[in-house]
A and B are shown apart, each in its own frame.
Chain A
Amino acid sequence: MKPQSPALASPWRSELMPGALAALLTLPQALALAALAGMPFQAGIHLALVPALAATLIGHSPVALSGPNTAASLILASSASALATPGSAEYVQQVLATTLLAGAFQVLLAAARVGNLLLELPDSVTRGVLAGTGVLIVAQQAGPLLAVPVNGSGIVEMVAQALWFDAPNGRAAFVGVVSILAGLGAQACGNRRSSLLVALLAGWLAAELADLALGAANTGIERLGAVTIGGGFLSWPAVDAADPSHLLAAARDGFAVAVVGALQTAVTARILAMRVGGTLGINRDIAGQAAMNLLAAFTSAFAGAASFNRSLANVDAGACGRQAGIYCVAFLGLGTLLAGPLLARIPLPAVAGVLVLVGVSMIVGARGRAPRRGYLAELAATALAAVFLGLLPAVMVGALLAAYFRAVTPRLA
């Protein structure tokens, strides 16, 4: 490794690599989460472009990466699919309206400074969410790693389906294992920051070699698929005014998306502050999310939130400023315009391998010395709730337990 000269240490240079990694990680997630939301796959990329850029520029936390998010996609899908068929124009309209209202509610949440509530959360709860989400991210990779179609809900079903399926694809697993080993190897060699990118590229190389040697039809390694963007980019959210049930559903589930998205963003900001230092400005982060979702409604996208795994991968790759997020958007835009056929070949098991490394890094990062009584209990309870129940119950369980331990701890004077 050459020592970096001070001139090269400018953030616009040092953030190039985290930005590239973020773009490569965002692509498959954008497509998968668009499908989860029942939207055309281009919508996921649309969300990761202009709206995500707004969140990066407006939000307080510089290294937080926002865009497509599992919880938001799930709420949108269950809301809109009750009223229309995924893929239909009516469905898209319903999702756009819900997204617009989610953004509007987040404007209110930011204005009411609700984010300050999250400042009261003890460190143990943040670490618990970090560990629990890390476990969840690792577990979610079981299916893609073994190339087994998993459609279960919840961690137990997901892992069980992946492990007890009768014919896992050994070649796909090989690609994932190469990714993980390459990433660990890079870490062992001291290239901590580049390890995730190395993991992805090594897995990609392994997949290409396997396809070249054996033929793509024989390896069956799942690829991303073409990611060209085009067609309608601008959109106008509108709901059928004659049928109030559509507007009511949009308002109800827009509020749910707003709250879950804000919570996810706030917890991400706290975790990032814990990992890289810096001040907290949760209300401004929520304002960034509001801007993202409002823009999403007008750019044929759908509601999102800050992403745990992409933000943490960003930090692991050495990002310190907003430049990585800006690069991510630039690479995504240029890549989908110019390198669609190449990016189509991103092997999904390699992406899963990278996410395993991110999840493990989250679990490891949650370790810390317990400074007081009850700390570990709060951490463990929050982590368990995050794994089995979800983010909102996890934060509530952790906060309640923390309040309990504070109440029963004898105080001086």
Chain B
Amino acid sequence: MRSPACRALRVAACLLAALPVAVSARESFRPPPLESAPADKYGALVLLGYRIVTDTPGNAARYAGNALSCTHCHVDAGRRPNAAPLWAAYVAYPRWRAKDDRVSTFEERVQQCFRFSLDGIPPALGSIELQAITSYAHYLATGAPVGAELAGRGFPELAKTGQDPNPDRGRLVYQNRCSACHGGDGAGKPGIPPVWGGRSYNKGAGMANVRIAASFIKANMPRGNPNLTDQEALDVSAYINLQYRPHDPRKGLLGILQ
């Protein structure tokens, strides 16, 4: 039983046994299509949530503060894995967050998207907008295990490249790979989000963090052909996040003076 052949067999068996697990861990959760949402009041709320997620300034006009929509970070209306999918977020809350240093609910997390990424005003708890977005995320998460860390949640973390992000190189990457859609001034176009300037996310948003934005860019940008290297993603993220954008609403004058 101690022969090398035997050991090799056992290793092979272990690998085989582990294989299906590995495959299922890689294969991400599939949210149900919007068309099969039930035709009842819940379904109507899901639909309203979908409309808000895909056109936030249009359908949550009271609270949206810039030209961004939820779907610009939560790509494909919150369905795509590795682009902060809403189905993975829904089952991950309530959870402790360093940003708040307390346990936040899903609704409070959505409020923060409005405060920071949408640079607007958080919808009150119980507002129809918050109910609709929560219902939509709940619907996308149909069948997902509650509390599970689903594959594809958030943005995939970049490995350390061994180099600092370099905004000078990032400018070249931006000009070659990004500016055709997002514009040389970063202001975007109709349907394409501004990546800096007064109509983009503010300095308190997750995207204002160079590593987080780089993870998003690496996994999702350029649209349809995300083939930047890790270093290019970091560089362009540093470049974008050095440009002007609305100030961090967590920082007041007192904080700056300190």
Contact = CB atoms under 8 A, between A and B. Distances in A.
A225 B62 contact: yes
A85 B37 CA distance: 14
A87 B254 contact: no
B199 to A, nearest CB: 12
A211 B252 contact: yes
Contacts of B121: 223-226, 344
Contacts of A70: none
A212 B61 CA distance: 24
A226 B63 contact: yes
B250 A215 contact: yes
Given A87-B48, A225-B63, A149 B125 contact: yes
B252 A213 contact: yes
A31 interface: yes
A149 to B, nearest CB: 5
Sort chain B's interface into a size bin.
Answer: 20 to 34
B253 A212 contact: yes
A31 B62 contact: yes
Given A85-B41, A87-B45, A151 B254 contact: no
B9 interface: no
B175 to A, nearest CB: 32
Interface string B106-143: 00000000011000110111111000100000000000
Q: Which of B61, B115, B128, B254 has the most CB of A within 10 A?
A: B61
A362 to B, nearest CB: 26
A87 B132 contact: yes
A298 B80 CA distance: 42
B248 interface: yes
Contacts of A86: 128
B33 interface: no
Given A41-B62, A226-B64, A227-B62, A87 B124 contact: no
Interface in A116-161: 149, 151
A169 interface: no
B63 A215 contact: no
A88 B44 contact: yes
Interface string A78-90: 0000001111100
B4 interface: no
Contact of B61 (A88, A224, A228): A228
Given A85-B41, A87-B48, A344-B121, A35 B128 contact: yes
Interface string A207-245: 000011111111000111111100000000000000000
B222 interface: no
B85 interface: no
Contacts of A87: 44-45, 48, 128, 132
Among A149, A151, A214, max chain B CB count under 10 A is at: A214
B2 interface: no
B147 interface: no
B249 interface: yes
A395 to B, nearest CB: 31
A288 interface: no
A325 interface: no
A31 B255 CA distance: 34
A38 interface: yes
Interface in A175-230: 211-218, 222-228
Nearest to A341: B65
Interface string A316-338: 00000000000000000000000
Nearest to B114: A225
Contacts of A224: 121
Interface in A392-409: none
Contacts of B250: 215, 217-218
Interface string B50-77: 0000000000011111000000000000
A213 B253 contact: yes
B29 to A, nearest CB: 27
B126 A149 contact: yes
Contacts of A31: 62
Nearest to A219: B252
Contacts of B193: none
A149 B132 contact: no
The CB with the most chain A CB atoms within 10 A, among B48, B62, B116, is that of B62
Given A41-B62, A225-B62, A215 B125 contact: no
A337 to B, nearest CB: 14
B186 interface: no
Interface string B149-179: 0000000000000000000000000000000
B252 A214 contact: yes
A136 B255 CA distance: 40
Given A226-B61, A226-B64, A217 B45 contact: no
B127 A215 contact: no
Contacts of A214: 252, 254-255
A215 B115 CA distance: 11
Pick the 6 closest A-B CB pairs, nearest first.
A85-B44, A215-B252, A225-B62, A216-B249, A214-B252, A217-B249
Given A226-B63, A226-B65, 16 more contacts: A31-B62, A35-B128, A85-B41, A85-B48, A149-B125, A151-B126, A212-B252, A213-B252, A215-B248, A215-B249, A217-B204, A218-B250, A225-B121, A225-B123, A226-B120, A344-B121
Interface of A: 31, 35, 38, 41, 84-88, 149, 151, 211-218, 222-228, 344
7 contacts: A85-B44, A211-B252, A213-B253, A213-B254, A216-B115, A217-B116, A225-B123
